[in-house]
Structure 1
């Protein structure tokens, strides 16, 4: 028979072990609930907008900082962190960064320089390069090196800093922001093209869903496109303020507002379960098709704005 003291010790160790196992079992699911955030707040406003700066550029920096600091970046979480087990939030965050990367590229090529006659702005160029970084790089990227590396979210935060530096210089008259119609048209055309690519992704997944009973990728595609549409809504809303005088002078303000309304509706789509049913089905909805409707309507309205600005 075990001595009483030894028996008590084994009992304590057993309870501690059981508690540890319970903690481990709850860590992932509770952590997932704690971390998971699809922040599609369309009332968010840009922070740190300097006098004479661009509200759209400030909004891009604000979104990056929110997704990498306030909510933390989840797309590069390793398997032992709760974020690794999520899929919708990483897709949403990645969609936002993809849209901001496109916007930053067009800022560098079309608006932040005299087209074809000047060098690219150094801060915009830096932001573009950083936003091209893959979203899933953690502290190590063993595909390139065994040494520690800069994580995706750290690079994105550096991109936000570069955008804010550009905006500060713009407010001080040391950077360019072309407010001509042709520069804005070029940017809108690139966004229109990107929305076309997003539409193709939706169409491909809708077709793929017909071949399976339960489409497990529908939600990934939905939230990736949702993140892109959400970011474009906020960027274009603030770009409308930056170009307010031009839009009013060209009588394009009403068309611009209608385009924003379509993007706003698309941004707020939030089904409890993303379904990819038959587009003419009676019982199962197709949320990808619904999202695609608003996307294509916004894309058509963007083209209408461009046509008005050309006149």
Structure 2
């Protein structure tokens, strides 16, 4: 009798009975199946959004863009108008494309993506360099002249931390820079004392191309490191092997692809605004060859992933193909700079 009473106080059998009844009730009420359906549907939606958001923006006609903007505002397409309008549109595309700006996302699916955020980084780097060139050289008649007040604000705004997501967010800082670019664009057509200046000189173009060349040279080396390579230091015995980690190969590839996308449009805008300078130096054909090499980097990727074949192996190496186009463009830029700076 006592043993029977004590057995009823044993918590283990009681817990097994409670757990069994809870599982039966949950299954009987049909809670498990709806939860699984909702979770699966949510996962499918997030994957679909991730694929859509990873689609790279299309290219656009920089001259048509500038003409349409000028017509809508009653402006004239004066020298510099196409370059500034292109830079403004490149940065706006970065923020307004499907999914918006993804590099600082803290929620899925943006949190899971890495190709598009690295593509965005490439665009940002080229936009920063152009904004600096506008402030430092193109908007000033000489080194002792005053900097443009709008570009003084716009240029550092584009250098804001690209991964900041709150207080303030990168998007809000970049949009402030775009607004000041737009103000500068408007003042290019002003007839008052606040009129903005743009000087399409040979030296200002050569200085910006020097920045572009440095970026392309670095990017080509990073892409080539996908298969590893020997790097020699200053001393004869200083030799290291540099190889890109496997998980970073696609990151560098898409950063290069975004950088080339931005450069194609900026170079086309420069071709329009610096047409007289390029014509005087017989350099128009050289610039168009650079653009053609960079346009080749925007061909569709026919593989679901960035392949990293070794040398002359069976599989392709997309990083080396990209590095080839960027190296050819960089070599042409070096020749173009020499042509511009020759007497």
Q: TM-score, normalised by structure 2?
A: 0.78
- Pick the aligned partner of 1:156 from 155, 158, 174: 174
1:112 to 139, 152, 155: 139
| Contact 1:215–1:275 under 8 Å retained in 2 | no
CA drift of 1:153 comes to 1.7
Structure 1 residue 64 corresponds to structure 2 residue 91: yes
Equivalent position of 1:4 in the other structure = none
Of the three residues 252, 261, 267, the one matched with 1:221 is 252
Higher RCO by CA contacts (8 Å cutoff, separation 6 or greater): 1
Aligned to 2:5: none
Q: Secondary structure at the match of 1:163?
A: helix
1:76 pairs, out of 71, 96, 104, with 104
1:5-44, Cα deviation, whole Å (9 max, x unpaired): xx89963655543433333433432331232222253556
Any idea what SS the aligned residue of 1:120 has? coil
Distance 1:43 1:270, change over 3 A: farther
Structure 2 counterpart of 1:38 = 56
Please give the root-mean-square deviation of Cα atoms over the aligned residues, in Å: 2.6
Cα separation, partners in 2 of 1:190 and 1:163, compared to 1, 3 Å: same
Answer yes or no: is 1:275 the counterpart of 2:296: no
The gaps in structure 2 that reach 5 residues or longer are: 1-24, 230-240
Count of residue correspondences? 293
Q: Give the direction of change, closer, same or farther, for the CA distance of 1:172–1:24 in structure 2 (3 Å limit).
A: same
Q: Flag structure 1 segments of 5+ consecutive residues without an equivalent.
A: 1-6, 140-148
What CA distance in whole angstroms lies between the structure 2 residues aligned with 1:302 and 1:113? Answer: 23
**Take 1:171 and 1:228, find their aligned partners in 2: how far apart are those partners?**
30
Q: Which moved more, 1:213-222 or 1:154-163?
A: 213-222
Structure number with larger C-alpha Rg: 2
Q: Assess if the C-alpha contact under 8 Å between 1:233 and 1:267 holds in 2.
A: no
SS of structure 1 residue aligned to 2:141: coil
Contact 2:283 2:336 in 1 (8 A): yes
What secondary structure is seen at the aligned counterpart in 2 of 1:46? helix
Q: Partners in 1 of 2:245 and 2:125 — Cα distance?
A: 28
Is the 8 Å Cα contact of residues 38 and 89 (structure 1) preserved in structure 2? yes
User: Structure 1 length as normaliser, TM-score?
Assistant: 0.85
Question: Judging changes above 3 Å, is the alpha-carbon distance between structure 1 residues 112 and 213 closer, same or farther for their aligned structure 2 residues?
Answer: closer
C-alpha spacing 1:212/1:60, structure 2 compared with 1 (3 Å): closer
Mean Cα displacement is larger for which, 113-122 or 287-296? 113-122
Offset of residue 129 of structure 1 = 0.8
